[in-house]
Amino acid sequence: MAALLVIQLLTYGGALAALANPFIGLLIYVAFSLLKPEWIWYDSIPEGNYSFIIGLAMLASWALHGFGRWRLGAGGAVAAALIAYWLWIALGATLAPNQTVAWEFVAGATKIVLPFLVGVTTIDSVAKLRQLAWVIVLSQGAVSAALNLDYLGGFNRLVEADFAGMDNNVTAAALVTCVGLAFFLGLGTSRWQHKAIAFACGLLTAHVILFSQSRGGMLALLVTGLSSFFLLPRRGWYYVVLALAVFVLLQLSTSEARTRFLTTFADSGERDASANNRLQLWQDSFDAMVQNPLMGVGPAHWPLIADRYGWPPGTAAHCLWLQTGAELGVPGLALLLTFYGICAMRLLPLARQRGDPVGDPWLRDTARMVLAALAGFVVAAQFLSISGIEAPYYVALLGAGALKLSRPQEAADAESVSLPVSAAALSHS
């Protein structure tokens, strides 16, 4: 009952607050999209239009406030790439054989793109960046805590059932995106209580990935750790924290998880059927892209044509990049890669300890957390068709926001709006 009251308060009270400030609506919308409250608290929260209500209020407020500020600075190219990708999906839908499936895919993309645009045009201070980062980390931490409780109670929900309609592999890919985020958020926070919360969220999330039995998720977790090592500022205690995190995770990993992870690197004669099938799917989806290089076979259409290659209808390509190329052609794949790639490339100089001056040192922390998160996501996406998960887009939004504020003169000119929500207290940590 308490969880239901909180969700209703956030929905209806948050909708009213969002009308005054669209960024408040964005924070609640992001929390709902990651938490998926009907699933995390399935025993007390009925299905409802929670995200729709808060999203509608957010968009209405955004429109009433003039659609934000479009002086995006260095973050403009990231937003432009996402808009172009969105428009290419819509163009592909107009030509797709199955209009219903194609436009459902466009609708799903719209639910991601519009909040991104709300965010990138309303983030006008480092305080807002912090608030968004904390909402992402705390939301994914809450999901991970619930899955850990189920696991400790003897029920591995990810292996024996699913979470919000996502299997163990997709859930692991969504969660791994936030591990690097939590780690660098903890390092960049000044208060020890907030450090403890961020690190706890990161460890809980990493533990879920270990018992998810997802080889792609575990490999992405390893890449996240390696990326974090290279991104760390040269301070001794930072390396101690990273080493301690690795030690704890090694202690938490089971022999079953380690054995399954090692099969990722087995030769062709020792691979299981799942690994061999994935390699064949990659070849077939690549062939579909080669055969349809301009427009692809249509948005969300690879599962509809998989039977042409001998697969059961509905089979996914198990690779975001190749399935995107097969469905949207080479231009669609290039636009998606450009969205993530230009975000990462422009954040690299910002993440360095030395370089051009920035308005706030925390922007460098933001760059590091986004780069570590995207490194894990890129690897996870190689093994899964996960175009609809929201977490990587919100992480990229953090990166675009940091780029927008990265020049001292732009940061000085930005208007800082204090939010009447409890998360505002975290903006000073």
Residue with the larger pLDDT of the pair 16 and 389: 16
Asked whether the predicted pLDDT for residue 354 surpasses 70, the reply is no
Cα dist. 59→111, 159, 303, 321 in Å?
11, 37, 32, 30
Q: At residue 195, does pLDDT exceed 70? A: yes
Burial of 47 by CB count in 10 Å (0-12 exposed, 13-18 middle, 19+ buried)?
exposed
- Residue 412 is predicted with a pLDDT of 41
pLDDT tens profile 239-256: 888 888 888 877 777 766
**Whole-number average pLDDT of the chain:** 87
Query: Can you give the pLDDT at residue 361?
Result: 83
Tell me what the mean pLDDT of segment 149-160 comes to: 88
306, amino acid identity:
A
**What are 359-389's pLDDT values in tens digits?**
688 899 999 999 999 999 999 999 887 777 8
Contact present, 12 and 53 (Cβ < 8 Å): yes
Averaged pLDDT, 343-366: 81
> Quick check: 20 pLDDT over 70?
yes
Give the pLDDT band of residue 422 (cuts 50, 70, 90).
Answer: very low
Tokens matching residue 366: 């933001």
Dihedral (CA of 263, 268, 272, 275) sign: positive
The pLDDT value recorded for residue 365 is 92
pLDDT at position 410 is 43
pLDDT at 290 over 90: yes
Residue 115: pLDDT over 90: yes
| The Cα angle at residue 62 between residues 60 and 66, in degrees rounded to 5 | 115
420: pLDDT strictly greater than 60? no
- Would you place residue 75 in the very low, low, confident or very high pLDDT band (cuts 50, 70, 90)? very high
User: In the chain, where are the structural domains located?
Assistant: 1-63, 74-428
Residue type at 380 in one-letter notation:
A
| 356 has a pLDDT exceeding 60 | no
Query: One-letter amino acid identity for 385?
Result: S
CA distances from 94 to 36, 84, 176, 271, 367 (A): 31, 16, 34, 41, 37
pLDDT score of 331 more than 70: yes
Work out the average pLDDT over 168-182.
89
The Cα–Cα gap between 258 and 263 comes to: 9
Long-range contacts of 312-316 (CB under 8 A, 24+ apart): 315/281, 316/281, 316/384, 316/385
Percentage of residues in the chain having pLDDT higher than 70: 88
**pLDDT tens-digit map of 21-35:** 999 999 999 999 999
Q: For residues 288 and 277, give the distance between their C-alpha atoms in angstroms, rounded to a whole number.
A: 16
Angle, CA 170 vertex, CA 164 and CA 173 arms, to 5°: 120
Q: What average pLDDT does this structure show over 275-293?
A: 92
Q: CB–CB of 120/75 below 8 Å?
A: yes
Q: Is the pLDDT of residue 86 over 90?
A: yes
| Band of residue 205 on the pLDDT scale cut at 50, 70, 90 | very high
CA distance between the termini of the chain: 32
pLDDT tens for 122-140 read: 999 999 999 999 999 999 9
More confident residue, 212 or 110: 110
Give pLDDT, residue 373.
Answer: 95
pLDDT at 92 over 60: yes
* Cβ contact 338:344 at 8 Å: no
Question: Considering only 146-155, 222-231, 256-265, 378-387, which range has the smallest mean pLDDT?
Answer: 256-265
Q: Which residues pair with 163 in a beta bridge?
A: 166
Give the model's pLDDT for residue 419. 40
Cα separation of 404 and 414, whole Å?
10
Query: Secondary structure of the chain in the HEC alphabet?
Result: CHHHHHHHHHHHHHHHHHHHCHHHHHHHHHHHHHHCHHHHCCCCCCCCCHHHHHHHHHHHHHHHCCCCCCCCHHHHHHHHHHHHHHHHHHHHHHHCCCHHHHHHHHHHHHHHHHHHHHHHHHCCCHHHHHHHHHHHHHHHHHHHHHHHHHHHCCCCHHHHCCECCECHHHHHHHHHCCHHHHHHHHHCCCCHHHHHHHHHHHHHHHHHHHHCCCHHHHHHHHHHHHHHHHHCCCCHHHHHHHHHHHHHHHHHCCHHHHHHHHHHHCCCCCCCHHHHHHHHHHHHHHHHHHHCCCCCCCCCCHHHHHHHHCCCCCCCCCCHHHHHHHHHHHHHHHHHHHHHHHHHHHHHHHHCCCCCCCCCCHHHHHHHHHHHHHHHHHHHHCCCCCCCCCHHHHHHHHHHHHHHCCCHHHHHHCCCCCCCCHHHHHHHC
Distance CA 200, CA 193 (A): 11
Model confidence band, residue 270 (pLDDT cutoffs 50, 70, 90): very low
